[in-house]
Structure 1
Amino acid sequence: MTVEKTDTLVVGAGQAGIAMSEHLGKAGIPHIVLERDRIAEAWRTGRWDSLVANGPAWHDRFPNLTFEGAHPDSFIPKEDVAAYFEKYAAMIDAPVRCGVEVTSVTRLDGRQGFRAETSDGVIEANHVVAATGPFQTPVVPRIVPESDAVHQMHSAAYRNPEQLPEGGVLVVGSGSSGVQIADELNRAGREVWLSVGPHDRPPRAYRGRDNVWWLGVMGKWDAATPPEGAEHVTIAVSGARGGETIDFRRLADEGISLAGRTESYADGVMRFADDLATNIGKGDEYYLSLLREADAFAARNGLALPEEPEAHAIGAMPGCVTDPVLELDLEAAGITTILWATGYRRDYGWLEVDTFDEDGEPLQKRGMSREHGIYFLGLPWQSRRGSSFIWGVWHDAKFIADLIAIQRNYLEHDDAARSRRAAE
Structure 2
Amino acid sequence: MQRTASLEDRAMTVGKIEIDTLVVGAGQAGVAMSEHLSTLGVPHLVLERSRIAERWRTGRWDSLVANGPAWHDRFPGLEFDDLSPDGFAPKERVADYFEAYARKFNAPIRTGVEVKSVQRNVGRPGFTVQTSDGVIEARRVVAATGPFQRPVIPAIAPQIDGVTQLHSADYRNPAQLPAGAVLVVGAGSSGVQIADELQRSGRQVYLSVGQHDRPPRAYRNRDFCWWLGVLGEWDAAAMKPGREHVTIAVSGAHGGRTVDFRGLAHRGMILVGLTQAFEGSTATFRPDLVDNLNRGDENYLALLDAADAYIERNGLDLPLEPEARERFADPECVRQPLRELDLVEAGVTTIIWATGFAVDYSWLPANALDANGKPQHQRGVSAEHGIYFLGLPWQSRRGSSFIWGVWHDAKYVADQIAIQRSYLQYRDADQRQAQEADAPTLGTQTAVSA
Q: What TM-score results when the alignment is normalised by the length of structure 1?
A: 0.98
1:61 aligns with 2:74: yes
Which position in structure 2 is the counterpart of 1:200? 213
Name which one, 1 or 2, has greater alpha-carbon Rg.
Answer: 2
Which position in structure 2 is the counterpart of 1:167? 180
Q: Pick from 428, 432, 439 the counterpart of residue 420 of structure 1.
A: 432
1:238 aligns with 2:251: yes
Look up the equivalent residue of 1:207 and give its one-letter code: R
| Contact 2:186–2:353 (Cα < 8 Å) also in 1 | yes
Look up the equivalent residue of 2:392 and give its one-letter code: L
CA distance in 1, matches of 2:54, 2:27: 7
Which digits, 9 at most, give the CA deviation of each residue in 1:105-144, with x for residues without a partner?
0111112111110011111111111000000100001213
| Residue aligned with 1:6, SS | strand
CA distance in 2, matches of 1:76, 1:133: 20
Which position in structure 1 is the counterpart of 2:444? none
CA distance in 1, matches of 2:51, 2:108: 13
| Contact 1:155–1:341 (Cα < 8 Å) also in 2 | yes
Q: What TM-score results when the alignment is normalised by the length of structure 2?
A: 0.92
CA distance in 2, matches of 1:328, 1:2: 56
* Overall identity of the aligned pairs, in %: 65
Which blocks of at least 5 consecutive residues in structure 2 are unaligned? Answer: 1-13, 438-450
| Contact 2:54–2:95 (Cα < 8 Å) also in 1 | yes
Moved more, 233-242 or 315-324: 315-324
| Contact 1:106–1:353 (Cα < 8 Å) also in 2 | no
Which position in structure 1 is the counterpart of 2:10? none
Which position in structure 2 is the counterpart of 1:39? 52
1:104 aligns with 2:117: yes
Moved more, 226-235 or 292-301: 226-235
1:318 aligns with 2:344: no
CA distance in 2, matches of 1:278, 1:299: 31
| Residue aligned with 1:375, SS | strand
| Mapping of residues 52-201 of structure 1, within 5 Å | 52-146=65-159, 148-201=161-214
* Pairwise CA distance, 1:400: 0.5
* Pairwise CA distance, 1:149: 3.1
| Contact 1:260–1:275 (Cα < 8 Å) also in 2 | yes
| Residue aligned with 1:387, SS | helix
Which digits, 9 at most, give the CA deviation of each residue in 1:270-307, with x for residues without a partner?
00000000000000000000000000011001111001
Which digits, 9 at most, give the CA deviation of each residue in 1:61-109, with x for residues without a partner?
0000001211000000000000000000111110000000000001111
| Contact 1:107–1:353 (Cα < 8 Å) also in 2 | no
CA distance in 1, matches of 2:433, 2:148: 50
| Contact 2:152–2:355 (Cα < 8 Å) also in 1 | yes
CA distance in 2, matches of 1:2, 1:185: 47
CA distance in 2, matches of 1:52, 1:176: 11
* Pairwise CA distance, 1:383: 0.4
1:22 aligns with 2:35: yes
Which position in structure 1 is the counterpart of 2:409? 396
Which position in structure 2 is the counterpart of 1:289? 302
CA distance in 1, matches of 2:77, 2:15: 38
Which digits, 9 at most, give the CA deviation of each residue in 1:305-364, with x for residues without a partner?
001111112232211011100000000000000000000001111112302112111111
1:306 aligns with 2:312: no
| Contact 1:134–1:380 (Cα < 8 Å) also in 2 | yes
| Contact 1:173–1:342 (Cα < 8 Å) also in 2 | yes
| Contact 2:381–2:389 (Cα < 8 Å) also in 1 | yes
